[in-house]
Amino acid sequence: MLDYGHFIGGKHVKGASGRAGDVFQPMTGEVRAKVAFASKAEVAAAVENAKAAQPAWAATNPQRRARVMMKFLELANRDYDKLAEVLAREHGKTVADAKGDLQRGLEVVEFSIGIPHLLKGEYTEGAGPGIDLYSMRQALGVVAGITPFNFPAMIPLWKCAPAIACGNAFILKPSERDPGVPMMLAELFMEAGLPAGVLNVVNGDKEAVDAILEHPDIQAVGFVGSTPIAEYIYGKGCSAGKRVQCFGGAKNHMIIMPDADMDQAVDALIGAGYGSAGERCMAVSVAVPVGQKTADILVEKLIPRVESLKIGPSTSADADFGPLVTAAHLKKVKDYVDIGIKEGAKLKVDGRNFKMQGYENGFYMGGCLFDDVTRDMRIYKEEIFGPVLSVVRAKTYEEGLKLANDHEYGNGVAIFTRDGDAARDFAAKVQVGMVGVNVPIPVPLAYYTFGGWKRSGFGDLNQHGPDSVRFYTKTKTVTSRWPSGMKEGAEFVIPTMK
């Protein structure tokens, strides 16, 4: 059995708190590893190492920092298959899906290689008599990221790569459910030439999270997870004077217009709704067909597709999705299906009793499909985070748009249509942070920014893209004048350009 401690000061450190948790292998239900839970003192030790290493790292020129990113990218691609296998075994997603998880993280590393350009400031010569103005972006110092179980490679890289490239030292607190890949990524950064202490990984639970939020030397915190925890971290971090960005839950709608290619729409819903067992913050969990005829055709086409989904172990090459992450989460998702039935929704496909032959103790569940879901039902209002798709019928386009706009979450949304006017109107009016037009999962590429609206996102700046550089740096503006251009005598009024 594996034993995960922490990664502090460039080396693996055993846990010293006496507290630990189990890391499961979801496809078998077996305990794969023990993971140490950090105490406040262990988090403080990581911060001290980061604080000691950060000034020299910030003083390293951006091009040399970029070369570390380039080397890390090379090493991660060398170990690509190994990383994906560990990720699949601890999370439960298929190896193919795990590779996508890793790839989307590495694309942000690729973006971060451009840090010499991204950190360039502004310069104005002759802004006044003998006066020049220029700005510079400087690292914050020690920053931290608290990341979720569902993307154990992608989101840690979204957080740490831009932060480190900007010259910060980073404290990563990954999910205690699947910490193996984050620990491996830290090792690869060291092999790539990152100085010891610049990246530290502390495993743990709420005690470690609170220690990060309370530590006075941590200047900024990024979080991805559920909305209640996002609100907690945002409130506590801001009250402690930190810069904070938090991304929470989602209920992503896909509007299907009457003119849409119905086969394409069904393909999109199957992949976006059930991929990774629905454990994605960008998963489509609500299908909104517009018009009775559209709805009837859509449901008729969805039923056999959901019934024929291939569920298998994470290592299966032809599985559509694998098991859920833990037994507790499996029960939670099944409980939501029970709630939907009690609320009066029509369960068209029931995957609750699925058993995987040879893997009877694994955390498996088949796809579920609800029809006639209404906006007052809990299965519509709350994030289920499992392989459950709800069909909410809309009479008109305006009603479908209103559904997305009125929901408390505003992470992602999509519209499927052949009508350019409808698509353009939808993109302009929908109150959601990321919009897809005939694209079911509109996750922006690394050089744009990722972030939801309403109760899906807290803070002014988003993840990756230019926002990540803004979040992990502070701007300093210098007004410069040399003695030859200076007037004699004191000036008692505020300087102006008049």
User: Computed over its alpha carbons, how large is the radius of gyration of the chain?
Assistant: 25
Give the tokens for residue 241: 């004077």
- Cα separation of 334 and 368, whole Å? 10
228: number of Cβ within 10 Å:
11
Please count the residues of the chain: 498
Give the tokens for residue 156: 């840690």
**Among 42, 301, 68, residue whose Cα is nearest residue 165:** 68
131 CB burial (10 A radius; 0-12, 13-18, 19+)? middle
- Cα separation of 476 and 167, whole Å? 15
Q: Are 87 and 93 in contact (CB under 8 A)?
A: yes
Residue among 160, 166, 246, 281 flagged as catalytic: 281
Residue 301 Cα to chain centre, angstroms = 32
Amino acid at 417: T
Determine phi and psi for 9, rounding to 5 degrees.
65, 30
Identify whether 281 is a catalytic site residue.
Answer: yes
Q: Are 262 and 305 in contact (CB under 8 A)?
A: no
**Among 315, 384, 383, 305, residue whose Cα is nearest residue 349:** 305
Identify the helix (H) or strand (E) that includes residue 170: strand 169-173
Three-state SS at 315? coil
Give the tokens for residue 199: 């990246």
- Cα separation of 350 and 462, whole Å? 37
> DSSP assignment, residue 280?
-
Residues serving a catalytic function are 281
